[in-house]
């Protein structure tokens, strides 16, 4: 065992000592491939758990984050008990002193119920599957529609605010601390050339109602279970007051391309229109009269915005030396940025067709 693994095991032991459960026989394995937190599966003879080390740099409001998740889970559970929410609600476990998370050294950790026999997808395979995805995320938002938004803390200020993200990109370009600008100047220029679209986003956003949204509805934040049915929405870290178009847009971003988020062969990217149709039809139908006409119109804006905004965030992180998103190869964030910008171009070109499919 190397030093890093040994110190991880010591930390995990210290974390588990704070919970009222027999962890004397526990096996640990790495879980999932999120870009921010470190997630582990814990297996004991009696039960399985998810243990998560929350990225404190990305989430400085760590205690508020787990407290938000607790409030949201309780609300969803109530909705479920009243027959208004069909999915499972994996709970966070409380420590012996009743806390939702625990600090060990400089790091924050939390423990959650593991949903057995569950799996996540990295790619949507059929319109039928896309219909299930859109319905599940819409059920999640509908169940939270009567949740008082001011009851939860804003975890990352201006998370999907395009003006803020463009300012961050401008700063990264001005600093060019890692001398990476010259090699990606064309991508940067393309982003700054999208001013007309950016203005449109700013204007429509002013007139849209706030909901408690998930804000990270990428496909691998939905658990599926036996029978290939969605069983739980997970990764509630960014649940905050937001706009429905953001959640819809992130579904489109992660379901409608034939390529992975970091694929380097952007010229081979195609937009899966049948998947888009299934997403928008089922998303709107599940909301029924809980979505306004302007919100419906905004969904296609969201479908363009999310690839664009996530693309600019990857580009900013590339220029800043990769200190936000986990990377596993050279220029990983630049590859992600190029692929997301390509997706933004494809969605924009297909807009007239998408509008017809949304009817």
CA angle 215/216/220 to nearest 5° reads: 155
- Residues near ligand GN1 (CB under 6 A), total: 12
* Range in contact with ligand GN1 (rule: CB under 6 A) among 29-37, 87-95, 197-205, 278-286: 29-37
In the chain, which ranges are E strands?
27-30, 38-43, 48-54, 102-104, 107-113, 211-213, 222-225, 229-233, 240-242
Q: Is 219 in the site for ligand GN1 (CB under 6 A)?
A: no
Q: Is 325 in the site for ligand ADP (CB under 6 A)?
A: no
* Range in contact with ligand GN1 (rule: CB under 6 A) among 28-36, 144-152, 171-179, 274-282: 28-36
Distance CA 27, CA 292 (A): 49
Kindly identify the residues of this chain, within the stretch 278-307, that bind ligand GN1 according to CB under 6 A.
none
Q: Is 37 in the site for ligand ADP (CB under 6 A)?
A: yes
Nearer residue to ligand ADP within complex by CB, 49 or 283: 49
Q: DSSP letter string over 164-219?
A: HHHHHHHHHHHH-TTS-SGGGHHHHHHHHT-HHHHHHHHHHHHTSPPEEE-S---G
In this chain, which of 120, 170, 266, 348 binds ligand ADP, going by CB under 6 A? 120
Neighbours of 226 (CB within 10 A): 10
Kindly identify the residues of this chain, within the stretch 208-247, that bind ligand ADP according to CB under 6 A.
220-221, 223, 234-235, 237
- The CB-nearest residue to ligand ADP is 34
Sequence-distant contacts of 325-332: CB under 8 A, at least 24 apart: 325/35, 325/36, 326/34, 326/35, 326/36, 332/262
Minimum CB separation of residue 159 from ligand GN1 in Å reads 7
Report phi then psi at 149, rounded to 5.
Answer: -60, -35
Q: Is 261 in the site for ligand GN1 (CB under 6 A)?
A: yes
Q: Is 115 in the site for ligand ADP (CB under 6 A)?
A: yes
Kindly identify the residues of this chain, within the stretch 234-273, that bind Mg ion according to CB under 5 A.
235
Q: Is 205 in the site for Mg ion (CB under 5 A)?
A: no
Asked whether the beta carbons of 239 and 67 are under 8 A apart, the reply is no
Q: Is 34 in the site for ligand GN1 (CB under 6 A)?
A: yes
> CB-based contacts of 61: which residues, under 8 Å, 6+ apart?
153, 155
Q: Is 335 in the site for ligand GN1 (CB under 6 A)?
A: no
118's contact among Mg ion, ligand ADP, ligand GN1, none, with CB below 5 to 8 A by partner kind, is ligand ADP
If 0-12 CB within 10 Å is exposed, 13-18 middle and 19+ buried, where does residue 156 land?
A: middle
Distance CA 37, CA 33 (A): 9
Return the H-helix or E-strand segment holding 354.
helix 351-358
* Residue in this structure with the two tokens 């800043």, named with its chain if needed: 320
Return the H-helix or E-strand segment holding 137.
helix 127-143
- Residues near ligand ADP (CB under 6 A), total: 20
Q: Is 310 in the site for ligand GN1 (CB under 6 A)?
A: yes
In this chain, which of 8, 26, 31, 36 binds ligand GN1, going by CB under 6 A? 36
Q: Is 332 in the site for ligand GN1 (CB under 6 A)?
A: no
Asked whether the beta carbons of 172 and 316 are under 8 A apart, the reply is yes
In this chain, which of 12, 16, 18, 34 binds Mg ion, going by CB under 5 A? 34
Residues near ligand GN1, by CB under 6 A:
34-36, 58, 216, 218, 221, 235, 237-238, 261, 310
Applying CB under 6 A, the residues found at the interface with ligand ADP are: 31-32, 34, 36-37, 39, 50, 90, 112-115, 118, 120, 220-221, 223, 234-235, 237
Binding site for Mg ion (CB under 5 A): 34, 221, 235
């Amino acid at each position: 065992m190397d030093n890093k693994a040994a110190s991880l095991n010591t930390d995990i032991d210290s974390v588990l000592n704070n919970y009222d459960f027999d962890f004397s026989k526990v096996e640990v394995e790495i879980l999932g491939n999120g870009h921010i937190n470190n997630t582990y599966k814990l297996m004991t003879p009696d039960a399985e758990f998810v243990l998560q080390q929350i990225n404190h740099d990305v989430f400085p409001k760590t205690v508020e984050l787990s407290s938000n998740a607790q409030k949201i889970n309780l609300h969803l559970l109530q909705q479920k008990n009243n027959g208004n929410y069909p999915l499972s609600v994996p709970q966070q476990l409380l420590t012996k002193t009743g806390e939702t998370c625990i600090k060990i050294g400089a790091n924050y950790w939390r423990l959650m119920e593991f949903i057995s026999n569950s799996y996540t997808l990295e790619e949507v395979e059929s319109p039928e599957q896309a219909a299930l995805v859109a319905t599940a995320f819409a059920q999640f938002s509908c169940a939270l529609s009567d949740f008082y938004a001011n009851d939860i803390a804003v975890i990352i200020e201006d998370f999907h605010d395009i003006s803020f993200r463009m300012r961050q990109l401008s700063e990264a370009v001005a600093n060019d601390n890692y001398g990476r600008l010259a090699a990606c100047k064309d991508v940067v220029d393309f982003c700054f050339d999208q001013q007309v679209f950016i203005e449109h986003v700013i204007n429509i956003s002013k007139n849209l109602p706030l909901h408690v949204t998930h804000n990270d509805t990428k496909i691998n934040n939905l658990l599926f279970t036996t029978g290939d049915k969605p069983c739980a929405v997970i990764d509630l870290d960014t649940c905050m007051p937001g706009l429905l178009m953001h959640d819809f847009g992130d579904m489109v971003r992660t379901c409608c391309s034939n390529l992975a988020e970091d694929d380097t062969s952007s010229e081979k990217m195609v937009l899966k229109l049948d998947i888009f149709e299934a997403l928008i039809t089922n998303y709107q139908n599940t909301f029924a009269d809980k979505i306004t006409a302007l919100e419906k119109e905004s969904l296609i804006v969201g479908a363009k915005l999310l690839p664009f905004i996530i693309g600019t965030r990857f580009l900013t992180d590339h220029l800043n030396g990769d200190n936000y998103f986990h990377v596993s190869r050279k220029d990983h964030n630049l590859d992600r940025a190029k692929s997301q910008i390509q997706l933004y171009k494809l969605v924009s070109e297909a807009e007239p067709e998408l509008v017809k499919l949304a009817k």
